[in-house]
Chains A and B, each alone.
Chain A
Amino acid sequence: MKPSLKLLDYSILQQCMHCGMCLPACPTYDATKKERHSPRGRISLMRAVADDEMKLTPAFADEMSYCLGCLACQTACPAGVDYSNLLETARAEVQSAGLNQTFTSRFWRKVTIRGLFMRPRLLRFAGRLLWLYQRLGLQTAFRQIGLTKLLPKDLRRLEPQCPTVATKFSPQLIRPVETPTKQTHRVALLTGCVQDLVFADINRDTADVLLANGCEVHTPPVQPCCGSLHAHNGEGDAAKTLAKRMIDLFPPSQFDAIITNAGGCGNHLRHYGSLLAADPVYAPLAKLWDAKLRDIHEWMMEHGCRAPQAGLGDLTVTYHDSCHLTHGQKVTKQPRELLKLIPGLKLVELPEANWCCGSAGIYNITQPEQSEQLLVRKIGHVIGTGASILATANPGCHLQIARGLRQAGSPITLLQPVTLLARAYRAEKKASR
């Protein structure tokens, strides 16, 4: 059965009583001050579609894609509207109706979402090719001689934003099972897709932090994509297939916790229960999975994370909340508390810390203008804090903000909280030698 707004439980739409409390939290409403670009405005359009008052139109499709999906409205909403569910349903309906699709967009969708992100080995292979392209100096050469102009328009826009692929991926840095000297817990570590290709060292840092806190870490070398990309882009069936593969690879009963360190993935990962609710075999497993799923910061603070004995010198750090970590997973205090454990580290609050940076999944590709405005706003605040390091915990935000800092010529370094903590543990080890 195709997902559709009409088939959706109508009370989810009715839950919005259009009080307007979401308006000041919505970055797109803030930018345009037009109701259709607000959460309650979009919900009214979805309801009009469900009520047969309006047809699915290209303008409706545009509006659903103009939404960042940052879920700041869910934090602001006193009525508890499940906006994330509404948006995913609307996008899936737009997708299955084939609205707003060109031949090339269909092609790239097939290559990426249905191809690469369904096959982890193929994704790594593609990552390796990209790494070669970057390492052999071809990227610079191609850019200099203008060869990148031969790329299709969509890819051409994307090319300069392309992150630098890591030299080593997660399996080359993390053994399948690593055991601490004194074990208290047994956890699984999810390495992610972008995180694995670009930030494998952050996965290593995550493993180190877990090991330093008595966790035996299980990291299978080949892991499927969690399916969040698919669910957010209207590919519900693929999302279900991937969720089942994940559960098969990490039977939840065998672990005290299943750890994710990417805010965006984590928000999707902890909702397998509802995704697979109708599946007789996987429903109970998915429920258990949800109960075991933890963001790394959440897990560390839940179990009294050990403060390192050595620090990294006097550092002023500020912290940016990734949307899906803060609005989706409601993990806001823990990353800050984790940072404060590091001796000598001073944490200063970032103004509008939980306002979207414009990365928003693939939003910086699909809506470059709006994305850029949000990035400029974010960078202004970051520089204003006077911090030397910005910490954040999501690969999308990391890439986006790092690019913004480069553009602004700012010397501020971007690191993730687990990296800082892992470095402090390493400093401690060094000092004790």
Chain B
Amino acid sequence: MPSPAPALLARLREIVGAAQVLTSPEDTIPYGFDGTAALKGPVGVVVLPGSTQEVSAVVKLANEHGVTIVTRGSGTGLSGGSVPSEGCIVLCLTRLDKILSVDAANLTVRAQCGAITAAIDAAANQHGLFYPPDPGSMKISTIGGNVAENSGGLRGLKYGVTRDYVMGLEVVLPDGRIAHFGNACVKDVAGYSMKDLFIGSEGTLGIITEVLLKVVPRPAARRTMLASYDRMEDAAQTVSDIIAAKIIPCTLEFLDRMTIGCVEDYAKIGLPRDCEALLLMETDGHPAAVADEAEQMLALARARGARDVRVARDDAEALQLASARRSAFSALARVRPTTILEDVTVPRDKLAEMVGFVAEVAKKHNLLVGTFGHMGDGNLHPTFLTDERNTEEMARVHEALEDIVTKTLALGGTITGEHGVGLAKKAWLRRQVGENSHDLMREIKRAWDPRNLLNPGKIFD
């Protein structure tokens, strides 16, 4: 275990208070990982600042001592973005959890970086407003982490992702200065759009301490439907038919047979275990439009051979279905000790092909896989169910991932739709974006953070 210099610790205690500097193994070991399987790092010290000024002071101190900083929120990331690196300060921002204001006139919410995603939507809801991005971990994920990873969710097709809702940011720069980007104006073309550089920067360019978010009027009506199929292709084709009918539902999620079984084991809500694909559909908006769209979607599902189609009775059941879907990744962990989750994304019309390919790859390498994801936006989550202690099997998992990435890129897709590169995907980034683009990213990082103090080794080496 790397133990930080006593002088550094003393100064950290002065800045944030002794109770907010953790150094004993019992306190620090639980900060050695995030939500990513099979990845962990050594932690010497965890610091929990209580204000932007304290964050800034910690960063300045880190500069003085040449110590690196790995920032984290609730630690639910899925690409190892907040896994600590050797000798770093783990900067945990969960104490900065206040929702500062909801501005119903300008349709904005201002919050500290550690505010919980679901709490932001709940605060908006009090004013009849809606914060749409809903990553699987929204009940505990922090908004700062969502912005740093540019998180997605189940509503991407209609509502977009976190980036589409960020209007302004307060950021502590790598040298400790505090900078503000963006504002509450819908239109703003003053200079470079700097906030966009920080969205999805995974803690490598700055530490986001406050966010100004766009919110929208809460849809008056919502209808949730569930269709089951004997063939995955039929579910995918239903989605294509819905889009071709000029309907943009807020949610079009699919689960394969393996995932359905695991989710049902957990949620016990009566999902059909014997079908090959389940399509969760949701439309929201004006009540008349919702009724009309729901009717059409049900008819299209039936026409494509859905064996059973049903509408959620009420909000409670709709919520239950969406929550069950959000639990899919963790529920798959029931089967084997280690769960390796992928996040490849392909253009929507290539999704059925990709799902079929994943099944073939699993068969070829003799692996168990469960696949689920967002059929509406082409983002799928093939999840290998394995055991990290079995090195031979893990080698096969890596071969399978290699095959999946190659196919994804051939189809014009991306290695990560919503989880970020972090540690988990960095080996493939250059292949996807190309030499020049990759070099430019590294040049920006070098210019911005020449001493490589912020989250070193993430995204690229």
Contacts and interface: CB of A to CB of B under 8 A. Distances in A.
Interface of A: 10-11, 14-15, 17-21, 23-24, 33-36, 38, 40-42, 44-45, 48, 53-54, 57, 59-60, 63, 77-80
A54 B97 CA distance: 32
Interface stretch (B20-28, B177-185, B192-200): B20-28
Contacts of A23: 74, 140
B29 A45 contact: yes
A35 B35 contact: no
A79 B333 contact: yes
Top 10 closest pairs, chain A to chain B, by CB: A41-B30, A78-B330, A35-B30, A79-B333, A14-B337, A78-B327, A78-B331, A59-B26, A20-B76, A19-B35
Given A17-B333, A21-B137, A59-B24, 7 more contacts: A17-B35, A18-B33, A20-B75, A24-B139, A40-B30, A79-B339, A80-B334
A18 B82 CA distance: 13
Contacts of B331: 78-80
A18 B339 contact: no
Contacts of A38: 30
B25 A34 contact: no
Nearest to B92: A35
A14 B335 CA distance: 11
Interface string B303-335: 000000000000000000000000111110110
Contact of A79 (B75, B76, B330, B388): B330
Nearest to A59: B26
A10 B32 CA distance: 19
B384 interface: no
B256 interface: no
Given A11-B337, A14-B338, A35-B31, A21 B327 contact: yes
Interface string B118-139: 0000000000000000000101
Q: Which of A11, A18, A59 lies at the interface centre, i.e. has the most chain B CB atoms within 10 A of its CB? A: A18
B377 interface: no
Contacts of A19: 35, 76, 137, 329-330, 333
Q: Which of B137, B330, B339, B388 lies at the interface centre, i.e. has the most chain A CB atoms within 10 A of its CB? A: B330
A201 B368 CA distance: 55
B27 A24 contact: no
A197 B333 CA distance: 44
B27 A34 contact: yes
A33 B116 CA distance: 12
A15 B139 CA distance: 21
14 contacts: A18-B35, A19-B76, A21-B137, A24-B139, A24-B140, A33-B95, A36-B26, A36-B29, A41-B30, A42-B30, A54-B29, A78-B331, A78-B333, A78-B334
A14 B339 CA distance: 10
B74 A20 contact: yes
A36 B24 CA distance: 11
Interface in B97-130: 97, 116
A53 B30 CA distance: 13
Contacts of B137: 19-21
Nearest to B114: A33
A44 B265 contact: no
A35 to B, nearest CB: 4
Contacts of B31: 35
Nearest to A33: B94
A55 to B, nearest CB: 9
Contact of A44 (B29, B116, B263): B29
A141 to B, nearest CB: 44
B34 interface: yes
Contacts of B329: 19, 78
A128 to B, nearest CB: 44
Interface string B255-276: 0000000010111000000000
B37 interface: yes
Contact of B25 (A42, A54, A80): A54
B338 A80 contact: no
Contacts of B263: 78
Given A15-B337, A19-B76, A77 B27 contact: no
Interface string B64-98: 00000000001110000000000000000011010
A18 B329 CA distance: 12
Contacts of B94: 33
A59 B328 CA distance: 35
Given A18-B35, A20-B76, A23-B74, A80 B265 contact: yes
Contacts of A79: 330-331, 333-334, 339
Interface string B1-42: 000000000000000000000101111011111110100000
A57 B26 CA distance: 9
Contacts of B48: 33
A63 B30 CA distance: 12
Q: Which of B33, B141, B329, B337 lies at the interface centre, i.e. has the most chain A CB atoms within 10 A of its CB? A: B337
A385 B166 CA distance: 38
Given A77-B330, A79-B330, A80-B334, A17 B339 contact: yes
A45 B30 contact: yes
A60 B26 contact: yes
A171 to B, nearest CB: 40
B255 to A, nearest CB: 13
Contacts of A18: 33-35, 75
A64 to B, nearest CB: 10
B20 to A, nearest CB: 10
Contact of A78 (B30, B266, B388, B389): B266
Nearest to A81: B333
A36 B27 CA distance: 6
A188 B31 CA distance: 49
B25 A21 contact: no
A36 B92 CA distance: 13
Nearest to B139: A24
A153 to B, nearest CB: 26
A290 to B, nearest CB: 19
A57 to B, nearest CB: 7
Given A36-B27, A44-B30, A20 B334 contact: no
Given A19-B329, A78-B330, A45 B76 contact: no
A33 B35 CA distance: 17
A417 B31 CA distance: 43
A44 B327 CA distance: 21
A402 to B, nearest CB: 32
A10 B48 CA distance: 32
Contacts of B22: 34
A21 B330 contact: yes
B372 to A, nearest CB: 12
A401 B116 CA distance: 30
Contact of A80 (B29, B116, B266, B328): B266
Nearest to A16: B333
A44 B387 CA distance: 17
B26 A45 contact: yes
B34 to A, nearest CB: 7
Contacts of A77: 330
B333 A15 contact: yes
Contacts of B26: 36, 45, 54, 57, 59-60, 63
